[in-house]
Amino acid sequence: MGDDPNSHGSPAPKPELERVLELTVEVEEPIEIGETGDGHRRIIPISGGTVTGRCSGRVLSAGADYQLFRAEGPTELVAKYAFETDDGSRVYVENRGIRRAPSEASERLRDGDPVDPDAVYFRSVPSFETADPELDWLTRHVFVAAGTRQPAGVRLAVYRVG
C-alpha cells in the first residue's frame, strides 16, 4: 500500500494491430426520426454487402445503423447486423463508433453526398458473436475499425488488437 504502481515490473506491452477483415456494407435510404433533443436521430437499414479477409462471405439484409447526428459534435453510430461466410456460418456484429468531420463535411455526409475521406474521422469498435468454432477467434479478441463513407454504404477495415 502506498507504493507507486508504476515503479514495479515491466511496462504494459504496446498493442499491435493486425488487419483481419474488410467489410463493405450497403445501406438503404435513412428513416428520419428527427430532432430528439440529443441530436438528429435516424435509422439506416442495412441491405447487404461483402466480407473479405480471414473469412469471406456476404453481409445479410438484416439490421441497421442507428445514428445520432450532432452539428457541433461527433455523430454516434451503433450498427447491428449479421454476415454469412462462404461456408454458411453466421456472425452477429455490433459495431459502436463515432464519425467526426468539419461542419460542412458532416452535413454532406448526413445528406449522402461524397466527402474526402481524409476530412473525416470514422472509427469504431466491432464485437462479434458466432456459433462456429472455426470463427471463435472473432469472440476472443478486441477489434477496432476505420471506416469510409461510400455513396451507397460504408467500407470498414477491421483490425485485431494484439
Quick one: pLDDT at residue 54? Answer: 97
The domains of the chain are located at: 17-161
Tell me what the pLDDT averaged over the chain comes to: 91
Cell 467489410 sits on residue:
23
Quick one: pLDDT at residue 58? Answer: 98
Q: Flag whether the pTM goes above 0.85.
A: yes
* CATH architecture group of domain 17-161: Beta Barrel (2.40)
Which pLDDT tens digit goes with each residue over 34-91?
A: 999 989 999 999 999 999 999 999 999 999 999 999 878 899 999 999 999 999 999 9
Quick one: pLDDT at residue 9? Answer: 82
The mean pLDDT value for 138-161 works out to 94
CA distance linking residue 50 with residue 87, whole number of Å: 14
The answer on pLDDT for 149 being more than 80 is yes
CA distance linking residue 67 with residue 32, whole number of Å: 10
The answer on pLDDT for 4 being more than 70 is no
Report the length, in residues, of the chain. Answer: 162
The pLDDT-based confidence of 119 (bands split at 50, 70, 90) is confident
The answer on pLDDT for 156 being more than 70 is yes
